[in-house]
Amino acid sequence: MTNDTRTDSVPTAAGEADTAQAPVAMAGTLEPEAAQLDPILTAALHHIALHGYHATSVRMIAREVGVTVPALYYHYENKQAMLVALLDSSVALAISYVERALAAAGTDPVSRLQALVKAVALYSAHHRDLAILDSERRSLTEENLARYAAHRDSIESRLHEIVEDGVAQGLFATPAARNCVRAILSMTQGITGWFRPDGPRTAEETARDYERIALAAVEYRDL
């Protein structure tokens, strides 16, 4: 942070980020959760999603918020700090979706797989701008990337545990659990690239489609 104590006012109201039958019992509904971002991060998200991290300048963000650059630096040390804050918000929101879904799914690996896939799919559909920021992790410093990756990889670890449990119980026949996990997460996160709220399928229908695809990927024996 700088020592600049300019008093240009920065709005403090929180902003929000951009807002199929399963083959076995579904994990229930999962209501969308709002991402709470301050006006500076809301503006940064808008420009980074539109132009990319490197093409977005601090001056562009300050102009949209209506403050001077020094005033913006009073709140965030630099553009990297804004990206870190946005990615922290993104991964925390994704984990929240996953935790809520798994808490309602019980212990059955099939239900838990469906729940986790549904959670990531709905997060990707409801928060496309935040979710797509994951591609900007390449712009993080080495230290910031390591910290972000540790949180991000917790979702992959949970999914791997679920698939391994299913294999151990004879429910999933895949001989390549780790690659299945990577494929499932890659396809589900890829929803950000094509999903549109006004498209032919809703977020819920899309999530159910991906549940079925995930069960096929792990070779669910009762599919």
Q: Which residues pair with 15 in a beta bridge?
A: 37
Residue 208 one-letter amino acid: R
Percent pLDDT > 70 in the chain is 84
Contact 8, 65 (CB under 8 A): no
- Tokens coding 17: 């980020």
pLDDT for the residue numbered 30: 63
| Domain ranges across the chain | 15-19+34-217
Q: Is the pTM of this model over 0.85?
A: no
Tell me the C-alpha distance between 201 and 115, whole Å: 19
Give the burial string for 28-52 (b: 16+ CB within 10 Å, else e): eebeeeebebbbbbbbbbbbbbeee
Percent pLDDT > 90 in the chain is 77
CATH superfamily of 15-19+34-217: Tetracycline Repressor, domain 2 (1.10.357.10)
What average pLDDT does this structure show over 86-91?
94
Q: What is the mean pLDDT of the chain?
A: 86
Asked if pLDDT for residue 21 goes beyond 50, the answer is no
Which pLDDT band holds residue 14 (cuts at 50, 70, 90)?
Answer: very low
